Amino acid sequence: MYAQALDQKDKGPAVIEDPERLARFEARCAADEKIEPKDWMPEAYRRTLIRQVSQHAHSEVIGMQPEGNWVTRAPSLKRKAVLLSKIQDEAGHGLYLYSACETLGVSREEVVEALLAGKAKYSSIFNYPTLNWADMGAIGWLVDGAAIMNQIPLCRCSYGPYARAMIRICKEESFHQRQGYEIMLTLARGTPAQKAMAQDALNRWWWPCLMMFGPPDAVSEHSSESMRWKIKRFSNDDLRQKFIDATVPQGLFLGLTFPDPELKFNEATEHWETGPIDWSEFKRVLAGEGPCNRQRMRVRRQTEADGAWVREAARVHAKKRAARQALQAAE
């Protein structure tokens, strides 16, 4: 009944929880109470959060790479300054999320190690290349737009530290989305060549952005449990549809066309309907066969190695400081 045999992928032995505690926990989730780090929680809840929050953190950090590609080639000083601060925001998001993850009893080193060892995922979207400047607009408009759609409900996630981290992240993501749309608007109203760049970026980013929301509900293995625990508030398909409905009119306002001949507005349901998503592409990207998977991991591993001396210096400094403070306290 309440015994929980954990999924192998959640890494760890099966845990048989105390039925009464588990029932109280489930009731707290059902009553929309926040779960805090020192509260009792079932091992499966803790593991699913470590999985999701750490993968989210990895996505923010790896997500800096495709945009970093354009820092030296931004078309003006203003564009360069904005892009730089956006990329710094993503690093900040990664840090809040790694901190939220640590409240679940796992160290930052452990979760980063899982990424570097290829055991943890990051968002599929960051395995696509940024080929022209309009990609900076498309990432802000579409990738950040999809991220916000997914993350606003996470501000009400049952786990307190994750929910609170998401509040600030969402404020920044919403600014990112607007700056991306403004780049697209400038290009779409520019010369024919600029408009063609904007169209090309939309053509390449549209379908991968729809995949960002995860597999269809029917095959989403974690959704039902995560929704019962109020980690997720909406299913993958529901969020994808909300994103499509919000984004298609924005694209039409730009005067661009979506790379989907089957896209149409259903008057009866008042929803935009797309053609079928090519889930084999999503699977390929998750299996490491996307256009940039190898490059992203190579750069991430190199960055980790290059930063080793900084972490070591910080550790030695912290040790010396603690020793000095202990000495002062003893005087």
- The footprint of ligand FAQ (CB under 6 A) covers 9, 51-52, 55-56, 59-60, 63, 90, 121, 123-124, 139, 143-144, 147, 150, 211-215, 220-223, 226, 232, 236, 286
Alpha carbons 85 and 66: distance in angstroms, whole number: 14
Which of 186, 220 has the CB closer to ligand FAQ? 220
Alpha carbons 51 and 111: distance in angstroms, whole number: 9
Least distance in angstroms from the C-beta of 235 to ligand FAQ = 9
**Which residue type does 314 have?**
A
Which of 166, 188 has the CB closer to ligand FAQ? 166
Which of 134, 195 has the CB closer to ligand FAQ? 134
Least distance in angstroms from the C-beta of 222 to ligand FAQ = 3
Which residues, including other chains, have CB under 8 Å from residue 78's CB and lie 6 or more apart? none
Which of 48, 195 has the CB closer to ligand FAQ? 48
Which of 102, 135 has the CB closer to ligand FAQ? 135
173-189 b/e with 16+ CB inside 10 Å = b? beebbebbbebbbebbe
Least distance in angstroms from the C-beta of 298 to ligand FAQ = 18
Which of 183, 195 has the CB closer to ligand FAQ? 183
Give, as one character, the DSSP assignment of residue 17: -
Alpha carbons 323 and 331: distance in angstroms, whole number: 13
**Which residue type does 81 have?**
A
Which residues, including other chains, have CB under 8 Å from residue 299's CB and lie 6 or more apart? 65
**Which bin fits 95, alpha (ψ -120 to 50), beta or left (φ > 0)?**
alpha
Least distance in angstroms from the C-beta of 172 to ligand FAQ = 10
**Which residue type does 172 have?**
E
Alpha carbons 291 and 295: distance in angstroms, whole number: 9
Which of 195, 300 has the CB closer to ligand FAQ? 300
Least distance in angstroms from the C-beta of 216 to ligand FAQ = 9
Least distance in angstroms from the C-beta of 175 to ligand FAQ = 12
Alpha carbons 89 and 68: distance in angstroms, whole number: 12
Q: CB nearest ligand FAQ: which residue?
A: 63
Alpha helices in 218-289 (DSSP H): 223-228, 236-253, 279-284
Least distance in angstroms from the C-beta of 135 to ligand FAQ = 11
